[in-house]
Amino acid sequence: MYSFNAAEMKDRCVQWIREWFEKNGAGCNAVVGISGGKDSSVVAALCVEALGKDRVIGVLMPCGVQADIDMARKLVDFLGIKNYEVNIKEALDGVLNALPDIEISTQSRTNLPPRIRMTVLYAVSQSVNGRVANTCNLSEDWVGYSTRYGDSVGDFSPLSRFTVAEVKAIGRELGLPEDLVEKVPIDGLCGKTDEDNLGFTYAVLDRYIREGICEDEAVKERIDRLHRNNLFKLELMPCFEP
């Protein structure tokens, strides 16, 4: 049976972050988009342990009124890190209003906010001698549950090889408040929970990823289809080789 040593993985990930910054930006700051969910909380906490709180900058990016913004504020206060709050509503409306006279698809409206947020993160990062942290985890990446050129990108990725359950375990090793670790994941795009959108639980997905076991054949087929259809998000852009 698969087992996970959260303490060991936490320590190894912290060391990896330190080594990555030494090679790719000695003295630079880690810039983390803060949603108040487990992933951004764990990434920020890992960076604080690796670099010190003076080298970690959180960026909160509500779109208009964000019902759970208090969780994001709780995280930056708990870690004691410098943070900026940038409301993207005006930028979002500006882009939508400036688009040509075409019918804007639901998918475009859904994915535009995370792409604007990533633009904000890089604007901050390039102004504060920073490197942008990716906050996706293995479970999300496995089924393509991210926005291409939005939350799927960054300069370094501490959690991309950890499932949701493993991220939570690391969060507890870091001493994060339980309500941040166990906050119900909401996509922040259409108001639904991750599991509502996916059609299965992260517990089922994590077990399938780590042990290859999924007792519901229909769910197994859905996971496999999502994995196949979204592999392109994890690959470099194809280019012609003359």
Is 178 inside a domain boundary?
yes
- pLDDT tier for residue 31 given thresholds of 50, 70 and 90: very high
Tokens (6 digits) for 205:
């997905």
Average pLDDT over residues 153-175: 98
Structural domain that includes position 42: 6-234
Is 240 inside a domain boundary?
no
pLDDT tens sequence across 54-96: 999 999 999 999 989 999 999 999 999 999 999 999 999 999 9
| 138-152, 173-187, 189-203: which is most confident | 138-152
Number of domains in the chain: 1
Q: Is residue 212 left, alpha or beta, with left meaning phi > 0 and alpha meaning psi from -120 to 50? A: left
Q: Which of 208, 169, 165 is nearest to 185 (CA)?
A: 165
pTM higher than 0.85 for the full model?
yes
Angle at 169 between CA 168 and CA 170, to 5 degrees: 90
Is 59 inside a domain boundary?
yes
Average pLDDT over residues 224-229: 96
Is 242 inside a domain boundary?
no
- pLDDT tier for residue 7 given thresholds of 50, 70 and 90: very high
Is 239 inside a domain boundary?
no
Q: Would you say residue 189 has pLDDT above 60?
A: no
Angle between helices 164-173 and 6-24 (to 10 degrees): 90
Q: Which of 118, 121, 61, 120 is nearest to 85 (CA)?
A: 61
Is 224 inside a domain boundary?
yes
**In percent, how much of the chain has pLDDT > 90?**
89
Beta bridge partners of 186: 193
Return the pLDDT at 79: 98
Return the pLDDT at 140: 95
Return the pLDDT at 191: 66
18: domain CATH number is 3.40.50.620
Q: Would you say residue 187 has pLDDT above 90?
A: no
